[in-house]
Amino acid sequence: MPGITTAASVGPGIDFTCVGLSTGNIQCIGANGSGELGNASAPGQSNTLVVVDGINDAIYVQAGYRYACALKRSGTVSCWGSNSHKQLGPAAESLAFSRAPVHVPGSEGSIGLSVGSTHACVVKADRSVHCWGNNDGGQLGAPGSSGLTIATPVKVPNVSNAVMVAAAVNMTCAMDDAGAVRCWGCDNGGGSCFSAPNPVAGLSRTRGIAAGAYHACAVRDDSRVVCWGYNSQGQLGAAGPERSSTPLVVPNIRDAVAVSTGAETSCALRASGGVSCWGENHIGQLGTLDAGPRSAMPVDVPGL
């Protein structure tokens, strides 16, 4: 991206993107109809980078559906943009959107952050997981509150020793320090919804997780990648099933060090430094148009 030389994190959202810099500042570009750029003076859309107001200590930024959140060095989270499902937190509960970052009370002590479509979750220093925002599928993990929107972060029960959290559209997953994975919300592999965390079968020694729109992936300790959920575009790395509640091994990748997911695309960073992607490719998400509109087989991204 032109003008960015010190990027520390990147948060692609819907029609906008935010970049966290090593300086602690954040810059965003793209649509701004709901305040996605986090700058009160920014126009309705910007084709140049805009500095987010009032944040100079960010360590990580992520974006969802027309909103974004930043984890700051103080261990707190601030969010801006659309507040359609109270995803900006209790301080903005009465607002439809905010063009300036809003502190999320209850996020204190956070060490990890994941932003879903319209909900967000944090891992706290005590290794608990807390979520807020949309709960239409039970993705907040709050028993008895499915279908509600909740502005104040709520602690997810029966999840401990968490080191990573991954939020999707209406599902959330957490990985603990032993590598076990639990998920809650709508089971995109089978269509059922659960507000209580459930262990993902066969995942006990994972190294990392990521969640797309309606699927999730993990890197196992043997450096293989597995994915589960919807498979409409081959995002599970398998050409056959429309969906799978059981993690499927992605073929031809045996040296993965990290995994990342888009809406219907998955990518793996490999030990060689290269990147391989699979899934939807209608607008070149796989890094090459030669793969066609979709590919269930991993495709090496040229130049990486």
- pLDDT at 191 exceeding the cut of 90: no
Amino acid at 177: D
Percent of the chain's residues with pLDDT above 70: 98
Q: How many distinct structural domains can be found in the chain?
A: 3
Residue 2 has pLDDT above 80, yes or no: no
Residue 258 lies in a domain: yes
Q: Report if residue 96 sits inside a domain.
A: no
Average pLDDT over residues 250-263: 97
CA distance 243 to 236: 8
- Asked if pLDDT for residue 3 goes beyond 80, the answer is no
Decide if 262 is inside a domain: yes
Question: Sign (positive/negative) of CA torsion 99, 14, 70, 127?
Answer: positive
**pLDDT tens digits along 37-84:** 999 999 999 999 999 999 999 999 999 999 999 999 999 999 999 999
Single out the residue in 199, 229, 261 at which a domain terminates.
Answer: 199
* Residue pair 161/177 in contact by the 8 Å Cβ criterion: yes
- Domain boundary (199, 223, 254) is at 199
- Placement of tokens 């965390």 in the chain: 197
In a domain, 91, yes or no: no
Angle at the Cα of 107 from the Cα atoms of 187 and 67, rounded to 5 degrees: 65
User: In Å, how far from its chain's centre is CA 260?
Assistant: 9
Domain holding 20, by residue range, is: 1-82
Confidence label for 229 from pLDDT (cuts 50, 70 and 90): very high
Would residue 242 count as lying in a domain? yes
118 shares its domain with 185 = yes
- Pair (3, 56) in one structural domain: yes
Judgement on whether residues 141 and 226 belong to the same structural domain of the protein: no
Instruction: State the maximum Cα–Cα separation within the chain, in Å, rounded to a whole number.
Output: 50
Whether 155 maps to a domain, the answer reads: yes
The Cα 29–Cα 83 span in angstroms is 19
**pLDDT at residue 190 in the model:** 56
**Do both 184 and 269 map to the same domain?**
no
Q: Identify whether residues 113 and 158 lie together within a single domain.
A: yes
CB 137 within 8 A of CB 145: no
pLDDT digits (tens, 9 = 90+) for 124-177: 999 999 999 999 999 999 877 767 899 999 999 999 999 999 999 999 999 999
Same domain, 217 and 302: yes
285 within some domain = yes
**Residues 215, 154: Cα–Cα separation, whole Å:** 23
Q: Examine the domain organization and report whether 246 and 267 are in the same domain.
A: yes
d(CA 253, CA 269): 10
Angular region, 179: left φ>0, alpha ψ -120 to 50, beta rest:
left
Q: What is the pLDDT of residues 272-296, one digit of tens each?
A: 999 999 999 999 999 988 889 999 9
Whether residue 44 lies inside any domain: the answer is yes
